[in-house]
Chains A and B, each alone.
Chain A
């Protein structure tokens, strides 16, 4: 019996010890945070960037996470204010020729790289041509296709054509150290605002040439913005520190911005609640109801539209498409499913877009809470209705719930809706364009690249790579062409209004059903709320941010 007990003790001890080792552990990093008052002594914040930025190379970046970081370590030519007006930044002025086709930018005279080298117009010319070059394979090379010769240079096959000659012909030229001249294919009145996109930021040529693909690693990178890249532990953290020698360093309060990459939405909210992060850039829909009334919850307008595309080759009668649009109760979807006070869409161009009031069609077929009776009335006039609707979604959270609500609305019109979900990459292949024959409707969203309605309305031309509806309308295509060459804002907005009217006006073609205009949701400590900001194109400017007592 004695030995039996010994064994028992050994086992008990081991279990106990392991429990002890894993069960206890202390830490005492309590952080207090109260809003209001003057500047705090320590100007440090921690932001959850959400995911690993795929690239910090302005030429290669094509997503909002990368952009958020690049904007703050680099010095864009132009920035956008809250109303999306262009504001001089690295470019101190710009001049547009009478015909709108030549843009001349003048750079400030105090621009420097972190190495001390001056930032010159030559840097921009080289960087833009690098991004367009067929060798780099940049996704956003098309941002430059409005510049003379850019598309031709990008299309060149280095094994076959004389790409060097095409490179020379591209319409961007450093006239002198501080003057950059750009020749556009048409007037493109939004070009100045477009310059605020990350793609147009310059890179430091000697660094890129020396380190190749690894030039953005913290040990190699050379930047020219208010913050420097201090740490980049991939998939874990990106920390920025203030660059004390930046041209306007005295306007920057934060000395350090620690960045985490917590992808899981629930963990991110918990990390915020535990005081580990001060800003969480995206609140998961399932947490919004609980957090909405807290003082930390912040909401911003976001230039984007959530919509249902319709395959007009399958649902051929515009009457049916109008009826389907009319049946959807957007208010219920927003109040009960998405819950972030999105704006019920009354056209495709989102609220907040310059000229919105004159462009928006305020479509009678897009009533906020739906109008089932009127929709049924329309439906009854349809000669050959398509009664079985295959609705395709991607499998990200939230879309199914919306689709089920729409399914219920459409059921009242006598439509049988089959909801099918696919993972993202397969989904994108399936909707084309052209969409698969078995797809009648699909969900998608569009977020602005630059703040002009053209960025939204040009999606629906007959040759657009983003038009998965099979909608083709000559008049519409002509209006787009005309608007591209119309520098006058009022005239252009009038053309945009005509395009919206073709889609959603009295005789609406309704190739797609706009559901709502997006909002952005954040959790932010009260101590920084006053100064922390994100503009409607999702750009975060950390320069004015200050931690208050």
Chain B
């Protein structure tokens, strides 16, 4: 890593701190603005004394700025506090136990999208307007348009209930249980990759420097491999960062349908139950992930295209 790149990375890392602080503040304020009582989860009224005991136990009887200060201090010391609804668990335990599952699910779906989508895009671009191209683009339109919850339900219905090909309906244990959720989650990004790669490859092929390369008499393999593909991948890498972040943090629908014990299920139930500490803890964590994913992309970007590095140095 060159010196300028290192400086760039350090600067970006330092910048994440105020961003995280801002995220904490906004989540804190927003959560308190919504009506709702974390201690009344059913239609049963909570007697006053019990409500008071709970508020005291979780420090919710303190003024908001004290709560905010305590919380920020907690985040900075990696202590995200206890859950207000799952009374015997802490947010740290929830993250430690369930985040790896979401990470694995999102990571595998991303891998699937890349391994499946990018070659498909290349294929389509190499034979534009052929049946192959149309086929690939038809697939990608469908993959992009059909929402993942529908795909997931259809997958379970056909692959498990109707055809019984050996996948279970739900869970996250052996590899068989991971196939359907990974594909269901990865299909839309695969379609996205395919369209993106096809588009940028066709565009790059029109560039002057490609024509120059052709005029120089370079072999087509070299032209496609070195010039077209490498340059076409830059937008793909740009898109990949947020996508990876999205796949890791945004898979709660898939987690719910396939009963995967990931972090997404907690996130959704915590919001509806007003479990302040879980919502805030997970929001902070997920923001950090998105920030880091973007950082990695920017670094890759700088490696792939030296011009960006120089411009920033």
Contacts and interface: CB of A to CB of B under 8 A. Distances in A.
A60 B82 CA distance: 15
Interface residues of A, number: 72
A270 B160 contact: yes
B179 interface: yes
Contact of B259 (A54, A157, A267, A425): A267
B297 interface: no
Interface stretch (B11-19, B164-172, B238-246): B164-172
Interface string B158-183: 00110011111111100110010011
Interface stretch (B1-9, B43-51, B140-148, B305-313): B43-51
Nearest to B124: A11
A225 to B, nearest CB: 19
B123 A8 contact: yes
Interface stretch (A103-111, A122-130, A137-145, A407-415): A137-145
B261 A154 contact: no
A11 B123 contact: yes
Nearest to A431: B43
Interface in B168-210: 168-172, 175-176, 179, 182-183
B164 A235 contact: no
A267 B258 contact: yes
Given A234-B89, A274-B168, A444 B43 contact: yes
Interface string B30-64: 00001111011111111101101110111000000
A52 B86 contact: yes
Contact of A25 (B37, B165, B265): B165
A536 to B, nearest CB: 18
A55 B88 contact: yes
A235 B258 CA distance: 12
A7 B224 contact: yes
A466 B221 contact: no
Nearest to A52: B86
Given A7-B221, A157-B56, A233-B261, A425 B49 contact: no
**Main SS class of interface, A:** mixed
Interface string A173-211: 000000000000000000000000000000000000000
A63 B112 CA distance: 40
A40 interface: no
Interface in B51-104: 52-54, 56-58, 82, 85-89, 94, 97-98
A393 to B, nearest CB: 13
B303 interface: no
A250 interface: no
B36 A429 contact: yes
B25 interface: no
B37 A425 contact: yes
Contacts of B225: 7
Interface residues of B, number: 73
A384 B9 CA distance: 72
B119 A15 contact: yes
A155 B48 CA distance: 8
Contacts of A428: 36-37, 40, 43
A22 B115 CA distance: 11
A7 B126 contact: yes
Given A55-B87, A55-B88, A270-B169, A3 B37 contact: no
A7 B97 CA distance: 43
Nearest to A57: B88
A262 interface: yes
Contact of A262 (B42, B119, B259, B273): B259
B301 interface: no
Contact of A430 (B35, B39, B45, B58): B35
A12 interface: yes
A6 B126 CA distance: 11
A169 interface: no
Nearest to B274: A425
Given A3-B221, A445-B43, A235 B166 contact: no
B123 A22 contact: no
A236 B88 contact: no
A423 B122 CA distance: 46
Nearest to A153: B49
Contacts of A423: 272
B129 interface: no
B256 A3 contact: no
A62 interface: yes
Interface in B111-129: 112, 115-116, 119-120, 122-123, 126-127
B153 interface: yes
B140 to A, nearest CB: 12
B157 interface: yes
B216 interface: no
Contacts of A214: 88
Contacts of B168: 27, 271, 274, 276
B169 A274 contact: yes
Nearest to B43: A444
A25 B45 contact: no
A142 B160 contact: no
Nearest to A151: B49
Contacts of A273: 161
B153 A266 contact: yes
B272 A425 contact: yes
B171 A236 contact: yes
Contacts of A233: 261
Given A425-B36, A430-B35, A446-B43, A235 B265 contact: yes
A355 interface: no
A271 B273 CA distance: 27
Given A22-B182, A262-B259, 15 more contacts: A4-B224, A15-B116, A15-B120, A18-B115, A57-B87, A137-B54, A139-B46, A145-B47, A237-B171, A264-B256, A264-B257, A274-B161, A276-B168, A429-B36, A446-B43
Closest 4 CB pairs of A and B: A27-B166, A465-B45, A425-B36, A3-B221
Interface of B: 34-37, 39-47, 49-50, 52-54, 56-58, 82, 85-89, 94, 97-98, 112, 115-116, 119-120, 122-123, 126-127, 153, 156-157, 160-161, 164-172, 175-176, 179, 182-183, 219-221, 224-225, 256-259, 261, 265-266, 272-274
29 contacts: A3-B221, A6-B221, A10-B119, A11-B119, A11-B126, A18-B115, A18-B119, A22-B182, A24-B165, A55-B88, A63-B41, A134-B56, A136-B53, A137-B50, A138-B50, A139-B46, A141-B47, A141-B53, A145-B47, A213-B89, A234-B261, A235-B98, A262-B169, A263-B265, A267-B156, A270-B156, A270-B169, A446-B43, A466-B45
